[in-house]
Structure 1
Amino acid sequence: MKELTPNMKVVVSAEEIQKRIDELGAEITEHFQGEPVTVVCVLKGGFLFFADLVRSIKLDLELDFVRLASYGKGTESGELVFSKDLETSIKGKNVLIVEDIVDTGHSMDFLLRTLDERNPKRLALAALVDKHERREADVKVDFYGFHLAEGFIIGYGMDFAEKYRELDGIYELVD
């Protein structure tokens, strides 16, 4: 594992993450009641959570990936578009979106609305971290790993300037 720096504080350990993912896998398995599910990973941040989660779901799964990009000026949030879209049709299928973190909800609102227009049977959202206190868009996380209120978090897929995704736990960057 990468050496931790003094400005990194453990928020959720690797053991706590794995235990919660196993619980989520059981919840999702029960929710879809034996029906097949198309599980969609939101790249890049969701990839570690996605890999562990799909192994804990005891259903017939089809896996796919999306990546969103925001095009705006400077640091302003701009229009969201797919930089990588689904490769399979989701019409009439159960779909589970897997994301690393949902905070303001704008990206997930866009993705849920867009995928809903493709007429899935059911559409659900799983996120490792739900920062619902920061929510600006009306987005419900159906399956969440952890509610976290504050702090800039990294690790387990989440990054700061494309670094720290490989950490096995969730850490807060502190001053």
Structure 2
Amino acid sequence: MSVIQVHDKRFQPYIGATELQQRIKEMADQINNDLKGERPLFIAILNGSFMFAADMFKYLNIDAEISFIKLASYKGTKSTGNVIQAIGLDEDLFGRTVVILEDIVDTGKTLSQFLPQLDHQQPKKLLVASLLTKPEAMVYPIKIDYLGFSVPNKFLLGYGLDYDGLGRNLPEIYQLVE
């Protein structure tokens, strides 16, 4: 991995593809153990979590379903502070174990607005699995049940994370060069 350019910004390597896959497998193993005998519904938050969700599902050996919802709060490299729900959720969550799959918990605002909507449907359990979190940026405390990596409060790109629409396809994660 080397420094790359996306739009007008330069990004340096941060987390390699092998390290990402290894950690996701460890997270899946923990979920397999914790939710054995259940049939959880995983809700992947688009667009960013699509790669994380796909790879997580490869490592799950429990019966599980997946659904997708689109929430957005970013424009460029800054959070807009507004969460927009573009695609709704059709599944009935009552009495079900639900696992939210999120690419990154940054300020926590997205999940602080989304989780109460889900909790209102009375799931049996409501869990959060996030590949990344930025503890320094957290404004709205969110309990993350399954966490990949804690990262510094720097803008990240790749493995589902974008900069103005580009970079999601990169198999590794890069950090903005400032």
TM-score, structure 2 length as denominator? 0.89
8 Å contact from structure 2 (residues 135, 153) kept in 1: no
Q: RMSD over aligned Cα, in angstroms?
A: 1.8
Pick from 162, 165, 168: which aligns with 2:168? 165
Q: Which amino acid aligns with 1:152?
A: F
* Local SS of the residue matching 2:156: strand
Whole-angstrom CA distance in 2 between matches of 1:21 and 1:34: 21
Matched, 1:152 2:155: yes
Paired residues for 1:17-96 under 5 Å: 17-69=20-72, 77-78=81-82, 80-96=83-99
Letter in 1 for 2:54: A
Query: Deviations along 1:132-174, whole A, 9 cap, x unmatched?
Result: 2211112111111111013110000000000000000010021
1:108: how far off?
Answer: 0.7
Match of 1:121 in 2: 124
Aligned length: 169
1:76 deviates by 5.1
CA displacement at 1:69 relative to structure 2: 4.2
The residue that corresponds to 1:109 in the other structure is 112
SS of 1:87 mapped into structure 2? coil
Identity of aligned residues (%): 34
Aligned with 2:122: secondary structure? coil
Partner residue of 1:130 out of 118, 130, 133: 133
* SS of match in other structure, 2:26: helix
CA–CA distance in structure 1, aligned partners of residues 94 and 29 of structure 2 = 25
Point out where structure 2 has 5 or more consecutive residues left out of the alignment: 74-78
Once residues 153 and 126 of structure 2 are traced to their aligned partners in structure 1, the CA distance between those partners, rounded to angstroms, is: 28
Map Cα deviations across residues 3-46 of structure 1 (whole Å, 9 max, x no partner).
93492211100000000011000011111132111000000000
Alignment partners' CA distance in 1, 2:26 and 2:13:
21
Measured after TM superposition, the shift of residue 82 of structure 1 is 2.0
Structure 1 stretches of 5 or more lacking a match? none
The worse-fitting range, judged by mean Cα deviation, of 95-104 and 30-39 is 30-39
Measure, in 2, the Cα distance between the counterparts of 1:11 and 1:67: 26
Counterparts of 2:143 and 2:96 in 1: how far apart (Å)?
20
TM-score normalised over the length of structure 1: 0.90
Cα displacement string for residues 73-112 of structure 1 (whole angstroms, at most 9, x for unaligned residues): xx8523x342111121111110000011001101011111
Q: Distance in 1 between matches of 2:72 and 2:22?
A: 32
CA distance in 2, matches of 1:7, 1:81: 28
